[in-house]
Amino acid sequence: MREGSSVSALARAARIGSVTPPRLVGTLRGVPLDLSIVRPGSPTSPLSEAWASAPDTTDPAFCAWLSDLSAAAAGGQLALAFPPVRAPEVSEPGRWNVDGDVRFQAEFPLSWDTLDPRSPNFALKQFSKRLYLERASTWLDTLPPGAQALDLGGGIGRFACEWLDRGLAVTLADPNPRALELALGHLARRGGRFELWNLAAESLRELPRDTFHLVSALEVLCYLSEPQDGLREAARVLRPGGLLLCSVESGVGSLDPAIAHSAEAIATAAALTEHAIPGDTWVRYFTADTLSEAISRAGLEVLAVHGTHYLTDGPLHRLVDFERLADPAYADALLAFDRLLESTSGFGGAARALLAIARKPDPHGA
Ligand SMILES: C[S@@+](CC[C@H](N)C(=O)[O-])C[C@H]1O[C@@H](n2cnc3c(N)ncnc32)[C@H](O)[C@@H]1O
């Protein structure tokens, strides 16, 4: 396991609260923790040592323990620091989004944890994931078993969990450590090969170049102060022939989905280039053309750009019966409708989100 991996991150677990779950007893720098599950017979080993010699994240007992750590963090009993254990530098205006997420999570923890089936946003976020995956399936199916995936701006792990389910080895990077704490639990409950890094997409210098078969950045790049910086880093860490899967907002995202909008209003919104509420929100809007240009400028070959989210979260949001989103037949029909709208002349430009699939050129490839 390489230096600074997710395991050594937990070596920096800090701020243990007064209520300690049973598994978190032992000693780490005078702080109580239980290492016995990690290293039977050495319950007082420093956590960093235990982490280095631990069974990897494919070990169910180790994952159960990681899941407990995540739950303790979510319950406010401890805070976890993830590698490289210093706060990533995120400049304004992009910083506003990260700070806003932290505030939102503190205020509405269940709404924010959209991978919890009890979350009011669970079905919507799962459906949104399908909208992306269906369009990218031809390319994703080419990934070899055990391929390495980096999920940039992976948040609480919506796509990282998907990559684990597909047997990929996952590295999740996000500048928000509170998101990483939740992601740890979601990934650990699935098991598989994973690491978590507290990194911003603009600077991934701890991750080696030419490494990943897949870099995913869903609903991320448009929230960066300068999306091109994230694309440059994604291109650097992709291995030759590797795939980039990314999605961004179009100007249609500026419209309130709860209200019906005229064709003129949708067209006007689609032409917007950015949205800023100082201290709160920053979005750089894209069109299919500007997204393709940005990806090409990073040295990647664009394979496809799709419009998506015409219905859920999009201009036709009000048509959706959200009570039925969990019904597979209804979700299938909605998905087919979304794809139909993409290819419908005159409506294709009304996509709320744009999904791009690109490849890093391989000078030695076929
Ligand atoms: C809308 S969420 C999407 C999360 C996840 N990709 C998904 O689709 O479920 C946006 C994510 O981007 C992350 N983010 C914001 N600024 C970032 C930056 N500069 N670098 C990397 N990630 C960033 C946020 O912390 C958040 O997790």
> Does residue 192 share a domain with residue 149?
yes
The answer to whether position 86 is within a domain reads: no
Domain stop point among 25, 40, 74: 74
In angstroms, the CA 100 to CA 283 distance is: 13
Q: What is the residue whose two structure tokens read 């419009």?
A: 307
Least confident segment among 10-24, 229-243, 257-271, 348-362: 10-24
Residue type, position 268, single letter: T
Residue at 352 is within a domain: yes
Peptide bond connecting 93 to the previous residue in cis, omega within 30 degrees of 0: yes
Please give all residues whose beta carbon lies within 6 A of any atom in ligand 1, as ranges.
Answer: 90, 94, 97-98, 101, 152-155, 158-159, 174-176, 179, 200-202, 218-220, 223-224
**70 CA → ligand 1 middle, Å:** 19
Same domain, 107 and 15: no
Is there a domain that residue 227 lies in? Answer: yes
Residue 251 lies in a domain: yes
Place of tokens 């016995």: 36
Residue 27 CA to ligand 1 center (angstroms) comes to 34
What local confidence, expressed as pLDDT, does residue 366 receive? 61
Which residue, by CA, sits nearest to atom 4 of ligand 1?
Answer: 155
105 shares a domain with 46: no
Range of the domain at 319: 94-359
Does residue 19 carry a pLDDT above 70?
no
pLDDT of amino acid 200: 98
Are 310 and 174 contained in the same domain? yes
> Please, what is the average pLDDT of the chain?
85
Q: Would you place residue 103 in the very low, low, confident or very high pLDDT band (cuts 50, 70, 90)?
A: very high
281 plus 201 within the same structural domain: yes
DSSP state of 346: T
Q: Name the residue among 246, 234, 176, 174 with its Cα closest to residue 210.
A: 234
Residue 157 structure tokens: 């792990």
Flag whether pLDDT at 6 surpasses 50. no
Q: Ligand 1, atom 3: nearest CA belongs to which residue? A: 219
Q: What is the mean pLDDT of residues 314-339?
A: 95
Which ligand 1 atom sits nearest the alpha carbon of residue 153?
22
Given 74, 104, 122, the domain boundary residue is: 74
Residue 88 lies in a domain: no
Residue 329's contacts (CB-CB under 8 Å, 6 or more residues apart) are none
Whether pLDDT at 104 is above 80: yes
Q: In this structure, is residue 81 part of a structural domain? A: no
Specify whether 50 is located in the same domain as 102: no
The model's confidence at residue 235, banded by pLDDT at 50, 70 and 90, is very high
Predicted confidence at residue 14, as pLDDT, reads: 30
| Å from CA of 130 to ligand 1 middle | 18
Predicted local distance difference test score (pLDDT) of residue 56 = 65
Q: Give me the number of domains the chain comprises.
A: 2
Q: Which atom of ligand 1 is nearest to the CA of 220?
A: 12
Return the best residue to mutate from 174, 182, 216 for the ligand 1 pocket (most ligand atoms within 8 A of CB).
Answer: 174
Residues 229 and 318 in one domain: yes
Closest C-alpha among 177, 213, 209, 178 to residue 86: 177
Report the separation in Å between the CA atom of 346 and the middle of ligand 1, taken as the mean of its atom positions.
31
Residue whose tokens read 């015409």? 310
Tens-digit pLDDT profile for residues 108-164: 999 999 999 999 999 999 999 999 999 999 999 999 989 999 999 999 999 999 999
Strands 353-359 and 301-308: antiparallel
pLDDT above 70 coverage of the chain, percent: 83
Residue 129, burial from CB neighbour count under 10 angstroms (0-12, 13-18, 19+): middle
Same structural domain, 320 and 208:
yes
Work out which ligand 1 atom sits closest to the CA atom of 200: 20
User: What integer pLDDT is reported at residue 45 of this predicted model?
Assistant: 32
Give phi and psi for 129, each to the nearest 5: -60, -40
Of the two residues 92 and 195, the one the predictor is more confident about is 92
107 and 62 fall within a common domain: no
Q: Same structural domain for residues 104 and 228? A: yes
**Is there a single domain that holds both residue 36 and residue 132?**
no
Residue 204 belongs to domain with CATH number: 3.40.50.150
User: Measured on CA atoms in the order 165, 353, 247, 359, is the torsion positive or negative?
Assistant: positive
Least confident of 47-61, 119-133, 351-365: 47-61
Lowest mean pLDDT among 22-26, 52-56, 215-219, 360-364: 22-26
Q: What pLDDT, on a 0 to 100 scale, did the predictor assign at position 54?
A: 45
pLDDT band at 68 (very low <50, low <70, confident <90, very high): confident
Q: For position 78, what pLDDT does the model report?
A: 66
- Percent of the chain surpassing pLDDT 90: 70
The model's pLDDT over 245-273, given as tens digits with 9 standing for 90+, comes to: 999 999 999 999 999 999 999 999 999 99
**Same domain, yes or no, for 129 and 14?**
no
Q: Are 161 and 190 in contact (CB under 8 A)?
A: yes
Instruction: Over range 175-180, report the average pLDDT.
Output: 92
Does any domain span residue 333?
Answer: yes
In a domain, 84, yes or no: no
